[in-house]
A and B are shown apart, each in its own frame.
Chain A
Amino acid sequence: MSHINKSAQQLLAPIISNKKVGQYQQIIINVGDLASLCKPGNFVAINVGGSSSSMILRRAFAISRVSTSATFGGTMELIVAPHGQGSKWLCAQGEGVVLDIVAPLGTAFGIPTEAVPVLLVGGGYGSAPLFGLAEVLNARGCRVDMLLGASTGTKIYAPMEGKRAVNSMRIYTEDGSMGQPGRITDPIAELVKDLDIAVVYSCGPMPMLSAITTITNSLSVVHQCAVEEAMACGIGVCMTCVLPVASDDGSVSMLRSCIDGPVMDGSKVQWDQVGKQL
């Protein structure tokens, strides 16, 4: 059964910094006390285009990190790829621009109750929320190893300070321009066995999440993935962002990735039925 993230609030939040980081834009917004309600995996829905825009739907972005500082109070960091019209608009907004946001939305990554070894797998800028997650896992006493991958080196997002909370970080690019040549999925099976991994956390494109699930299913290791599906509302009313997910009794139903996700149990998502008629 769905559990709505009851801490969601609508807020006018000013941008306090917006700068280019490689191919992405790092946007930091002032969200006050809301920061304390955000957990790794949650997302934010932001109005784009201004009040007279023809873009009527909010855009959903993973919250990559929250922090509290004496100068700014609670802040939220987003790593945005300027892909479509909406994200391009957001990336072009300067300091002081006030954004209409709704957050935190969706499910969060589950944190193990014991200090077990975990593997974090991030594709492209999907790695962004994994650094905040790494800090939480590290604080729990987990040994955190990280795998990042992309088609090419410029699409890898790996901030220097992000490495603090991880034991090791390996990078794979398909064209070999950064790290080792190959796909991010190549070393997973071996790493899970060698490091005795209990939980694999992943965030990135859907085909990557599907491929990881195939591996984790064969190793019977838990796989928590943050899914990505086109959303109109982000708050559970529009029913557009659904994915076929099996329940404990085996029956498959269309669950909303905004409420039952974005973090889902990879082994329950019916990857081969995504986009098909149930």
Chain B
Amino acid sequence: MMKNKLLIFLAAAVLLLVLPSVAQYAGNFWVRIIDFALLYVLLALGLNIVVGYAGLLDLGYIAFYAVGAYMFGLLASPHLSETFPAIRALFPGGLHTPLWVVIPLGAAIAGMFGVLLGAPTLKLRGDYLAIVTLGFGEIIRVFLNNLDAPVNITNGPKGLLQIDSLKLPFVGFDFGKNGELFGLPVSSVTKYYFLFLAVVVVSVVICYRLERSRIGRAWMAIREDETAAKAMGINTRNMKLLAFGMGATFGGVSGVLFSTFQNFISPESFALQESVMVVAMVVLGGIGHIPGVILGALLLAALPEVLRWVSGELDLQMLTGGRLDAAILRQLLIALAMIAIMLARPRGLWPSPEHGKAAPTPAT
């Protein structure tokens, strides 16, 4: 059994390492899709802490993604120094905060936002919590959209442009440029692939350890029965805040990675639909179960892109007289998948094995 597991691990590792070089031959476009899928995996893992472990339904999760993305965007793009002369005087070469400062900072600030959001919602449960978090998400988006006046902070709906790509200091390694390794070309997206993969692997380890730790067990106790958890001496307030904070940290880091990868961000990327999508990934895959969550994220992030390519090849727009195009088809399929998968497997595609017994029955 142990040996089998090790083999599977090794096979997966080899597969993950060669995957980008294979995909690169088919075109950088495919590697890009995989990169985005990895970002979604990161988001889904973070939300899984809040929704899956602690059982707090958060519909505004994308707000933390936005916080991370905008923080990096502001600290590593010409926007701030162009708008404020004081900042230009301080940094004549423009603001180029290195990623190694920004990732911890992004994690910390997003985590702080998570706790801030968590604090007023502690008393709320279930659906009230869902709608309040949804409201928070919208509030952040509306502010991002409108904070270009009276002082231009976020540049409004136009978004932030020319965000730095990622560079390793001292060795002169630039993730934004194509390079080569042992004479083989390595494109920029492939470099990002390995970075994202590393972050995802670290996150999986963190989540795995959390799940089995005292904290993880406390979260699950709160999820199953908050009153009982309290009676067992769990500080439910602090634990819930910790769940919000931890989840938000993941969101913040993936936001930072997103903005450096994309080099451009605008409030559009952080709409409610994205939050819904991440919730769907977690629930479709198998709530509270790491492999399931990863599967859900990959499915919902990558499959539609594949379909987009297929429909492009078929020239669907011509076939249907402009009514159906790739983007519409993608939405349609995501919607159908959300309904069909839930109907066929209400506990998700790959649910955690022991959760079934403890699933709460509705108190009717």
Mutual binders A and B: no
Which residues of B are at the interface with A, using a C-beta cutoff of 8 A?
none
Chain A contacts to B: CB under 8 angstroms: none
